[in-house]
Amino acid sequence: MLSNLPVYRSWFPHLKTGKLWLNHAAISPLNSRTKNAVEQYLLNRSEGSIDDFPQIVEISQNTKLQLGKLINAPAERIGFVNNTSDGLNILANGIDWKSGDRILLNDSEFPTNVVPFLNLKRLGVEIDFVKTINDEIRPEDIEKVITPKTKLLSISFVQFLSGFKSDLKAIGKLCKQHNIIFCVDAIQGLGSTPIDVQESGIDFLSSSGHKWLLSMMGFGFIYITEELQSRLNQQFAGWTSNKHYFNNLLDYRLDFDDTARRYENGAQNNAGIVALGESVTLLNDIGIPKIHLYLLSLTDYIFEFAEKNGITTATPREHEKRAGIVTLKLPNAENIFALLNEQNIIVSLREGKIRISPHFYNSIEDIHIVCNALQSLLHKSI
C-alpha cells in the first residue's frame, strides 16, 4: 500500500459522493489540487491581472519541465497540442512520403492511432497491420512484417482494450536497426507506468491529459527528437511558431523556433496548461514507479478473483506485460455494466468486455467492492 493513501484519497472529492471510479482508462475525475490551480488561474483572469501572459509563459515552461521529468526528455523537446490525434497528425503530415512507403500498425489499436495514418493512403502510402496473438503484440511478430519500404511504426504504449503493455525498448531497437521512425501513442500508460523516451529510442510521442494524467480534455502534448524535427515539413504555422515571436511584429517572417514550441501555432488553452502542469507535478511528487507497483498489486487481486471464478481475462497476467488495466471477458457484459452503474461502480464497457482501471488513490477495499459486486451479478440470472 502507498504510505500516504488517506492523503491521496482526500484529493478526490468524488469519493465523498459514494461513487467508485474505476474508469481511468476512459477519463479521470479532477482532483482538488488540479481544480484549485485552475480556479486560481480563472480568478486571476476574471479579477486579477486579467492579461496573464507573463505568468502563463512561466507556467508553460514549468509544465514542460514536469512532462520532461515524466518521460525523461528535455523541456524544449515538448510542445503542446489539443489532443493525441492532433499530435499524431503533426507527424503523419510532416513526413516526406513517397508512393509505396509503408506504415506499420497493429490490429488492436484505438482508432486514434490508425485514422491519421489511413488518411495518408491518398498519397500512395500503404498500411500493414501486425496481427495480435492472444491479445499481445510481440516484437518478433513485428519484425516479420517489416519491409524495406517500412518508414514508420506507431504503437500504443498500452492497448486500450486488452491493457497489454508494449515492450518499447525492444521495438525501439528494431526500429533503429531498420531505420524506421518510432512513434508512440502514450495516453493509456502515462501517469500509471514508467516510460523513458530516450532509453526506448522513441522519436515521437503524443498524449492527451484526461486519462491517467488526471487532467482536462482538449489538451495534451507531443515529444519529438531534434533529429526527427529537422526532417519534418511543418504543415501548419502561426505567429507563435517563430523565434522571438513578440519582437518586431510587423516583420512578417517564417522563422520557426528551434524547439518543439514551433508546433504551438497561436493562443493556447491556458487553463489546460495550468491543469496539466499541476496534475503531472502531483504524479511526479508521488513517483510513477511507486504508482506502477501499487497498481500491479491492486490489479493482482482482480486476476485472483477472475481465476477463482473461471473468468477469462483479455489482459496478460505477467507484470511486465501490463499497466493499470484489467479487462474481463464476461457473459452478459452489457447487463453487468449497466447494473454496476446502478450501484455507482463505474467501469468501462468496451467491445463487449468489462474494463477495470483503478488509479493510485484507489484502495484494496475499492477492488473488493467491484469484485464482490461482479461475483453477486454473475450468480444471478441477468
Task: Tell me the pLDDT tens digit for each residue of 269-288.
Answer: 999 999 999 999 999 999 99
pLDDT at 382 over 90: no
- Please identify, among 230, 261, 285, the residue that sits at the C-terminal boundary of a domain: 285
Same domain, 153 and 191: yes
The contacts of residue 78 (CB under 8 Å, 6+ apart) are 64, 67, 68, 221, 222, 223, 260
Element (H, E) at 87: helix 84-92
Instruction: Read off the pLDDT band of 259 (50, 70, 90).
Output: very high
For residue 180, being part of any structural domain is answered with yes
For residue 32, being part of any structural domain is answered with no
Instruction: Read off the pLDDT band of 15 (50, 70, 90).
Output: very high
| H helical segments located in 93-238 | 115-118, 139-145, 168-177, 226-231
For residue 30, being part of any structural domain is answered with no
On the CB side of 81, how many CA atoms lie within 13 Å of its CA?
Answer: 23
Instruction: Read off the pLDDT band of 25 (50, 70, 90).
Output: very high
For residue 29, being part of any structural domain is answered with no
Same domain, 186 and 324: no
Q: How confident is the model at residue 381, as a pLDDT? A: 53
Total number of domains in the chain = 2
Q: What is the mean pLDDT of residues 312-319?
A: 97
CA distances from 298 to 5, 204, 236, 344, 368 (A): 13, 31, 44, 20, 10
pLDDT at 380 over 80: no
Same domain, 78 and 120: yes
For residue 333, being part of any structural domain is answered with yes
**Percent of the chain having pLDDT more than 70?**
99
Same domain, 48 and 75: yes
Q: What CATH number does the domain containing 273 carry?
A: 3.40.640.10
Contact 109, 128 (CB under 8 A): no
- Please identify, among 243, 265, 285, the residue that sits at the C-terminal boundary of a domain: 285
Task: Tell me the pLDDT tens digit for each residue of 176-233.
Answer: 999 999 999 999 999 999 999 999 999 999 999 999 999 999 999 999 999 999 999 9
Q: Mean pLDDT over all residues of the chain?
A: 97
Handedness of CA 90, 165, 217, 40 (dihedral sign): negative
- Please identify, among 285, 302, 321, the residue that sits at the C-terminal boundary of a domain: 285
Q: How confident is the model at residue 379, as a pLDDT? A: 82
* Structural domain containing residue 42: 38-285
For residue 31, being part of any structural domain is answered with no
Instruction: Read off the pLDDT band of 2 (50, 70, 90).
Output: confident
Q: Using CA atoms in the order 287, 290, 293, 298, what is the torsion angle rounded to 10 degrees?
A: -100
- Helix pair angle (288-308, 364-378), 10° resolution: 20
Same domain, 354 and 227: no
Same domain, 117 and 209: yes
Contact 85, 115 (CB under 8 A): yes
Same domain, 314 and 262: no
Going by C-alpha positions, the residue among 44, 57, 81 that lies closest to residue 236 is 81
For residue 27, being part of any structural domain is answered with no
Task: Tell me the pLDDT tens digit for each residue of 45-101.
Answer: 999 999 989 899 999 999 999 999 999 999 999 999 999 999 999 999 999 999 999
Same domain, 295 and 274: no
Same domain, 179 and 223: yes
What is the side-by-side strand order in the sheet with 150-156? 78-81, 220-224, 204-208, 181-185, 150-156, 102-106, 126-130
Same domain, 220 and 369: no
Same domain, 191 and 49: yes
Q: What CATH number does the domain containing 313 carry?
A: 3.90.1150.10
Partners of 81 in the β-ladder = 220
For residue 99, being part of any structural domain is answered with yes
Same domain, 67 and 136: yes
Instruction: Read off the pLDDT band of 134 (50, 70, 90).
Output: confident
